[in-house]
Amino acid sequence: MDKSKAKILILVEGSRIDMRLMKHLFQLYQIDVKYEIVSYNTNIYVLYDEMFYDGKPQDMDILQVLKEHEPNDDKKQIFEQEFTDVLLIFDLDPQDPRFAEDKISAMMSYFTESTDMGKLYLNYPMIEAFYHMSAIPDLNYNVRNVVLSELRNHTYKQRVNEENRNRDYSKFAVTRDECSIVIRQNIEKGWYILTTTPNNILPDTG
C-alpha cells in the first residue's frame, strides 16, 4: 500500500491509557502514515449490541454505526472521513455480566480485515496487562495470573500499578527495544496460554 494514501482509524476503548499507549507505539516505531486514534468510551459488549443485535453485521457500516452512537460532534466528523484501514482495540473484560464466548467468537470471526469491515484486537484481560511486568524482560510473565474476582472487584489495576516496573506507566517500555521485548513476551504468553493452560484468568477460590 502507498503510505501517502494510507489513513488508519484506530478505535480504542478508553480515553487515557489506551490512547497514550497507541500514540506511544506509533511514535516509537515511527509508523509514517496518517492516522486518527479515537476513544469509544465504552466496552466491546456495547459494540456487539449495536452491530450484532440482528445477527447481520454485514448489513451495517462500522463507521456509520460509530457515528450514530457518538454524542461528541468532533468525533462524529472523524467518522465521516474515509479510511483505508480500521483497527478496533478493546479489552476482553470477562468480568462484564454481558460477557459470553459466543459473542467474542462472532466478533473475532467477523472483524478480520482492516481494509474492509475492520480488524479486531483484544487486550487480555484488559489493557493494563501490557504493563503487568516487574522487569523487561520479565522471566515470570508467562505464569503471572489474575483471579476473576480481581477484575470484578476492580482491584486488578491497582495490583498492576504496584507490580509494574518503576510503578509508573510513563517509564515503562520507553525505548523501541524495550517495547519490542514486551510485545514479544506477550506473543509468547499467548501461545503459552493456548498450549499449556486453559487461560490465565483463574476462577474464584474458597
Burial 25-54 (b: 16+ CB within 10 A, else e): ebebeeeeeebebbbbeebbbbbbebbeee
Q: What pLDDT score does 14 carry?
A: 87
Range name among 70-74, 85-89, 113-117, 183-187 with the lowest pLDDT average: 70-74
The tens digit of pLDDT for each residue in 115-172 reads: 999 999 999 999 999 999 999 999 999 989 899 999 999 999 999 999 999 899 999 9
Q: Nearest-CA neighbor of 21 among 78, 115, 89? A: 89
DSSP letter at 69 equals T
Query: What is the CB neighbour count within 10 angstroms for residue 77?
Result: 11
Identify residue 111 by its one-letter amino acid code. Answer: F
Tell me, yes or no, if the pTM score tops 0.75. yes
Quick one: pLDDT band at residue 205, thresholds 50, 70, 90? very low
Are the C-beta atoms of 67 and 40 separated by less than 8 Å?
Answer: no
All cell numbers assigned to 77: 466528523
Beta partners for residue 118, in sequence order: 113
CATH classification number, 1-123, choose in 1.10.20, 2.40.50, 3.40.50, 3.30.110:
3.40.50
Q: Nearest-CA neighbor of 146 among 188, 91, 199, 89? A: 199
Quick one: pLDDT band at residue 193, thresholds 50, 70, 90? confident
Start and end residues for every CATH 3.40.50 domain found in the chain: 1-123
The tens digit of pLDDT for each residue in 90-108 reads: 999 999 999 999 999 999 9
**Mean pLDDT, rounded, of the chain:** 91
Residue spans of beta strands (DSSP E) within the chain: 7-12, 34-39, 85-91, 112-113, 118-123, 146-147, 201-202
Q: What pLDDT score does 206 carry?
A: 35
Q: What pLDDT score does 4 carry?
A: 65
